[in-house]
Homo-oligomer: A and B are copies of this chain.
Amino acid sequence: MAEYRILKTEGRAKRAEFKTVHGTVQTPLFMNVGTVGAIKGAVSTQDLEEIGCQVELSNTYHLHVRTGDKVIRELGGLHTFMDWHRPILTDSGGFQVFSLAGLRKIKEEGVTFHSHIDGRLIFMGPEESMQIQSNLGSTIAMAFDECPPSKAERAYVKDSIDRTARWLVRCRDEMKRLNGLEGTVNPQQLLFGINQGAIYDDLRIEHAKVIRELDLDGYAVGGLAVGESHEEMYHVLEEVVPYLPKDRPTYLMGVGTPANILESVERGVDFFDCVYPSRNGRHGHVYTKHGKLNLMNARFEKDMRPIEEGCQCPACRRYSRAYIHHLHKAKEMLGLRLCVLHNLYFYNHMMEEIRDALDAGTFAEYKKATLAGFEAGEDA
């Protein structure tokens, strides 16, 4: 069991630290997404250290189908493979199975699907997901769940959360068994459960009450940011977070914009992850305290300012908007890399500011001022 210690609260917002076998992290935090064990945009683990990343997130499904978790285990696990020695969280593979992979069949045992790489048939259930994540040796493994669409029918969602709850027991038991085996990469691997229930408050709460009984290392809220409105998402958080254990970290999966994060910290969330900063960076869209800029825009052709004045990221310390605009127009990879580095730094740095504000008891003011800055735009 990891140690989660709340240092300060402000309303429902929590400032905490979380001690793991790969070091202690400060929450609230943003996990930087490295799908196949590398951040898209030519960003290395050395870069992650330099831009203040605390937890790297890798995708179980992708690593399973390419190179393979058994090979990675043989090579010493994912930490050794990537040369990253801070915490890693791996997802369960479930989300990719339901969104990427072809021709799925969901049964009580698990899911059968086709690899998106070579089409071969793969079976994955709770045990298989735990075995793969154990081979990778991540710090935190995520439970194998079904993530129904947020607009799914109530009856379907009810069946789905019941199955996800049964799967969670199997995940916990299998993780316990794997952690006890000789030669396990990380015998202190942690398990986070995932709350589902789409946008049905009562199903969310019912499911939370069931899964919290399993006394896991942390709990995630899953199945949000998949089509519902921001208001619906905030509402679900308001309803369900009070039913998750306060003495464990709460992880909101796949969220989101800087504004989403501020609103969700206020509602008690500790952990976040999202592909926005890297995906947007690859398209030349960069985050600033005055909102998002599209560096492809012709108005940046002669703009010799950094993306953001005072920013200490590797892009802003040396390069101008004009140069990065030129790189994107010329389709030079360096343009993508600089924007991704800036965006990840922006997210990590904003989390640091959030933690400082919580420490100082000024989160409410910080949130208000930061959202106002985003709204006002650059000409304010």
Chain A interface (Cβ < 8 Å from any Cβ of B): 36-46, 62, 66-67, 71, 74-76, 81-83, 301-302, 304, 314, 318-320, 322-323, 326-327, 329-330, 332-338
- What are the residues of chain B within 8 A of A43 when measuring CB–CB? 334
**Residues B39 and A334 in contact, CB atoms below 8 Å apart:** yes
Q: Is B319's CB under 8 angstroms from A37's CB?
A: no
List the B side residues contacting A75 at CB < 8 Å.
302, 304, 320, 322
- Chain B residues in 8 Å Cβ range of A71: 301-302, 322
User: Which chain B positions have C-beta within 8 A of A82?
Assistant: 323
- Asked whether, in the complex, the Cβ of A333 is within 8 Å of the Cβ of B336, the reply is yes
Contacts of A44 in B (CB 8 A): 314, 318-319, 334, 337-338
Q: Which residue of B lies closest to A314 (CB)?
A: B46
Give bound CA distance, A81 to B323, whole Å. 6
Tell me whether B333 and A37 are in contact (CB under 8 A). no
Q: Are B81 and A322 in contact (CB under 8 A)?
A: yes
Flag if A327 contacts B66 (CB, 8 Å): no
Known pairs A46-B314, A67-B301, A71-B302; list 13 more (Cβ under 8 Å). A37-B326, A38-B332, A42-B332, A42-B333, A43-B334, A67-B326, A67-B329, A71-B322, A75-B302, A75-B320, A81-B320, A81-B322, A333-B336
Chain B: which residue is nearest A67 at the CB level? B326
Q: Which residues of B contact A42 (CB under 8 A)?
A: 41-42, 332-334, 336-337
With A334-B42, A337-B42 as given contacts, are A323 and B66 in contact (CB-CB < 8 Å)? no
Pick 16 A–B contacts, CB within 8 A, sort by A: A36-B326, A37-B327, A38-B327, A38-B332, A42-B332, A42-B336, A44-B338, A46-B314, A62-B330, A66-B329, A71-B301, A75-B302, A81-B322, A81-B323, A81-B326, A83-B323
Contacts of A81 in B (CB 8 A): 320, 322-323, 326
Of A37, A335, A338, which is in contact with the most chain B CB atoms at under 10 Å from its CB? A37
Q: In the complex, what residue of chain B is closest to A319 when comparing beta carbons? A: B83
Task: Find out whether the CB atom of B318 lies under 8 angstroms from the CB atom of A45.
Answer: yes
> What B residues does A304 contact at CB under 8 A?
75-76
Identity of the chain B residue whose Cβ is nearest the Cβ of A323 in the assembled complex: B81
Give the complex CA separation of A337 and B332 in angstroms.
12
Instruction: Enumerate chain B residues within 8 angstroms of A38, measured Cβ to Cβ.
Output: 327, 330, 332, 334-335
Contacts of A335 on B, CB cut-off 8 Å? Answer: 38
Which partner residue on chain B sits nearest A338 by CB separation? B44
